[in-house]
C-alpha cells in the first residue's frame, strides 16, 4: 500500500488539515501587508528570491538570485569594492562589515565588524548568525534610533537597507504588540513562518546573544479556547506545558523555555534542520525503504526516546514518521520524537486514555474499536480490555513505523483491517530482502491484543536491534555503527541556520498538531 492515505476531516474531528484552517489576522500580528510585499516584487528580474533595498540615495542595493543546484548564497557589505557585492566607501565601514547568507528559504545576517551593525535598533554581536526576516532594516555603524533622537551630521544614518523576500517565498513576520511579550523579544529574533494551524503559528527564530537557531510555537489563547470549547476538550494549557518541560532526552525534541503572556504562549523548541523521517524515506531514499543496516541504528533512537517517555508513564499517542525529526541529513544525524501534543500521562500501563486521538494509518486496534464498537472483533476487544487504552498503543504505532521504514508502504488498506492483522502481510517484493528477525519484531509489536505486545524494554533487547542481521548498507554505515549516526548526543545546533532540508519542529496540518499543544511537526 502506498504511503499516501486521505483523511476525511468530517470523519476525524481532530484533523486540522482541511481548508478551514484559520489564519492569524495580519492587522493583529504581522508587520506589513502581503499587498505591500507583492507590489515590491513587481518588475523584479526572473530568479530573484530576495532583495536588500537601499533606503538612502547613493547606497547600492543587491539581489539574491536562485540558481539550480545551489542552496547557499552570500552577499557581503563593506568598504572594499573587490571583496563585497555592496560597497560602502566610508572610512567608518570595515573591509567586510556584514554578510547576508541564504540557506534554502532562510536568510541570516552576520556582523563582521567591531564598528557596529544594527538590526532595527538592536546592535548585533560579532560573528553570530541572526535570522533575517521580511522588512528587517539593517544599518551600519550608526544606531538609527540614536540618529532620530539626536539629529546631527556626525551620527546621521548613512548606510541602511530594508530586506524583502519576493515571489512565492514572500512572508510577513510577527511583530511585537503586547508589552507582556517584551521578555521574549529581548531574547529572540523571529524569522520565517514554518507552519500554521487552527490556533498556532510556528516560526524559526534566533537567540540574540549567541545565534542559537530554534523553532518557536506561538499559541493564541483566544483561538485555542474557542477550539477547546468546540471540541469539548479537557486540555489545559498549563498542564500540557508542564508535561513538555519534563521531557528531557536526546531522542525527544526538547522544549528549551516557554513564555506565558496575556494573549499567547511562546514555546521555544530546539531546531531540527533535517526534516522528518517520512520525507527522508519518500524523498532521500526515493520511496524504496530504509536499508536494514541503516534502519537498525535509526530505529533504536526512536525506541530509546519512546522508552524514556514510557518510563515516565507518558503515552505519545501519535507516533509516526512525520513526528520523528532529524537533526541533519546523513552521517551524524540524530532522530528525535516530536509532537507531544497528544501525549497523555497514564497511571495504569494497560489503560487510562479514552479520547479519540492520533493518525488513522497508525491507529492501534483498541483505538479503532472505540470508533467502530459495532464491529464483531471490536466488541470482543472492548469486552476484553475495556474502553480505555494505555502505553501499548504506542507499541503498535512503533510496529507500523518500522514496517513503513523497511517497506516504504503501509501494512493495511483500511482501518478495520487491523483486526485481522495476524499474520502481517510481507508479500510484496521489498520484503524478500528483509531479515526474519526484523519481521519477527514487527509481528510482536503489532499484536491485536495490547497485552501481547512487546514493551519498549523488550524491544531494546530484541535480537534484531542487538544483532547485525541485514547487513550494513546505506550511507556508508556499518550494521552496528550507531555512534556514527548518533553524533554528539543530539545537542542543539548553534548559529547554523539550517543547512539541509526542511526545519522542525513546526506546526503540522493534520492530527496531533493543533489538536493539542505539543511541539508538532509540519509536513
In the DSSP assignment, the letter for residue 45 is P
Q: What are phi and psi of 100, to 5 degrees?
A: -110, 125
Q: 3-class secondary structure for 453-513?
A: CCCHHHHHCCHHHHCCCCCCCCCCCCCCCHHHHHCCCCCCCECCCCCCCCCECCCCCCCCC
Distance CA 241, CA 249 (A): 16
510, 329 contact by CB (below 8 A): no
60, 79 contact by CB (below 8 A): no
Whole-number Cα distances in Å, 374 to 120, 139, 353, 369, 380:
62, 68, 20, 8, 10
- Residue in the block written with cell 546573544: 209
217 annotated to a ligand binding site: yes
Candidate list 258, 318, 339, 514, residue with the active-site label = 318
Q: What are phi and psi of 367, to 5 degrees?
A: -75, -45
Respond yes or no: is residue 318 known to be catalytic.
Answer: yes
176, 205 contact by CB (below 8 A): no
Distance CA 378, CA 367 (A): 9
| Residue 304 C-alpha from the chain's centroid | 20
Q: Name the 3-class secondary structure at 448.
A: coil
Which residues are marked as active site?
318
Per the annotation, where are the binding residues? 217
Per the annotation, where are the binding residues for ATP? 217
Amino acid at each position: 500500500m502506498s504511503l499516501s492515505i486521505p483523511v476525511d476531516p468530517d470523519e476525524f474531528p481532530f484533523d486540522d488539515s482541511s481548508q478551514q484552517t484559520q489564519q492569524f489576522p495580519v492587522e493583529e500580528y504581522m508587520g506589513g501587508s502581503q499587498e505591500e510585499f507583492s507590489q515590491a516584487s513587481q518588475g523584479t528580474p526572473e530568479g530573484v528570491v530576495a532583495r536588500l533595498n537601499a533606503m538612502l540615495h547613493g547606497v547600492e542595493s543587491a539581489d539574491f538570485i536562485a540558481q539550480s543546484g545551489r542552496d547557499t548564497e552570500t552577499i557581503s557589505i563593506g568598504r572594499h569594492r573587490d571583496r563585497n557585492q555592496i560597497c560602502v566607501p566610508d572610512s567608518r565601514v570595515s573591509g567586510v562589515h556584514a554578510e547576508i547568507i541564504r540557506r534554502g528559504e532562510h536568510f541570516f545576517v552576520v556582523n563582521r565588524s567591531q564598528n557596529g551593525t544594527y538590526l532595527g535598533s538592536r546592535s548585533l554581536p560579532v560573528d553570530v548568525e541572526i535570522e533575517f526576516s521580511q522588512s528587517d532594516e539593517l544599518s551600519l555603524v550608526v544606531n538609527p534610533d540614536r540618529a532620530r533622537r539626536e539629529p546631527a551630521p556626525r551620527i546621521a544614518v548613512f548606510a541602511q537597507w530594508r530586506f524583502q523576500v519576493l515571489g512565492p517565498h514572500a512572508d510577513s513576520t510577527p511583530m511585537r504588540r503586547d508589552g507582556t511579550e517584551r521578555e521574549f523579544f529581548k531574547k529572540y529574533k523571529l524569522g520565517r513562518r514554518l507552519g500554521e494551524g487552527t490556533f498556532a503559528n510556528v516560526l524559526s527564530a534566533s537567540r540574540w546573544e549567541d545565534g542559537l537557531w530554534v523553532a518557536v510555537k506561538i499559541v493564541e489563547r483566544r483561538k485555542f479556547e474557542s477550539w477547546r470549547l468546540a471540541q469539548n476538550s479537557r486540555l489545559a494549557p498549563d498542564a500540557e506545558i508542564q508535561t513538555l518541560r519534563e521531557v528531557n532526552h536526546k531522542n525527544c525534541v526538547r522544549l528549551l523555555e516557554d513564555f506565558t503572556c496575556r494573549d499567547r504562549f511562546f514555546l521555544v523548541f530546539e531546531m531540527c534542520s533535517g526534516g522528518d523521517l517520512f520525507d527522508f524515506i519518500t524523498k532521500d531514499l526515493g520511496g524504496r525503504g530504509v536499508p536494514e543496516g541503516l534502519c537498525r541504528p535509526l530505529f533504536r533512537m526512536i525506541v530509546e526516546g519512546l522508552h524514556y517517555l514510557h518510563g515516565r508513564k507518558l503515552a505519545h499517542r501519535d507516533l509516526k514518521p512525520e513526528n520523528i525529526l532529524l537533526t541533519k541529513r546523513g552521517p551524524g544525524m540524530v532522530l528525535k520524537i516530536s509532537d507531544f501534543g497528544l501525549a497523555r500521562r497514564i497511571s495504569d500501563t494497560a489503560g487510562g486514555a479514552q479520547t479519540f486521538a492520533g493518525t488513522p494509518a497508525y491507529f492501534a486496534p483498541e483505538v479503532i474499536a472505540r470508533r467502530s464498537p459495532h464491529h464483531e472483533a471490536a466488541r470482543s476487544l472492548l469486552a476484553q480490555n475495556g474502553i480505555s487504552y494505555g502505553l501499548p498503543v504506542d507499541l503498535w504505532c512503533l510496529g507500523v513505523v518500522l514496517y513503513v521504514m523497511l517497506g516504504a508502504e503501509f501494512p493495511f488498506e483500511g482501518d478495520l483491517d487491523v483486526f485481522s492483522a495476524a499474520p502481517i502481510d510481507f508479500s510484496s517484493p521489498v520484503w524478500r530482502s528483509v531479515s526474519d528477525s526484523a519481521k519477527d519484531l514487527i509481528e510482536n509489536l503489532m499484536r491485536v491484543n495490547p497485552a501481547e505486545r512487546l514493551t519498549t524494554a523488550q524491544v531494546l533487547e530484541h535480537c534484531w536491534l542487538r544483532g547485525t542481521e541485514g547487513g550494513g548498507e546505506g550511507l556508508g554505515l556499518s550494521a552496528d555503527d550507531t555512534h556514527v549516526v548518533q553524533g554528539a548526543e543530539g545537542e542543539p545546533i548553534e548559529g547554523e541556520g539550517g543547512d539541509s532540508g526542511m526545519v522542525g519542529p513546526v506546526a503540522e496540518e493534520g492530527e496531533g498538531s493543533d489538536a493539542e499543544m505539543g511541539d508538532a511537526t509540519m509536513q
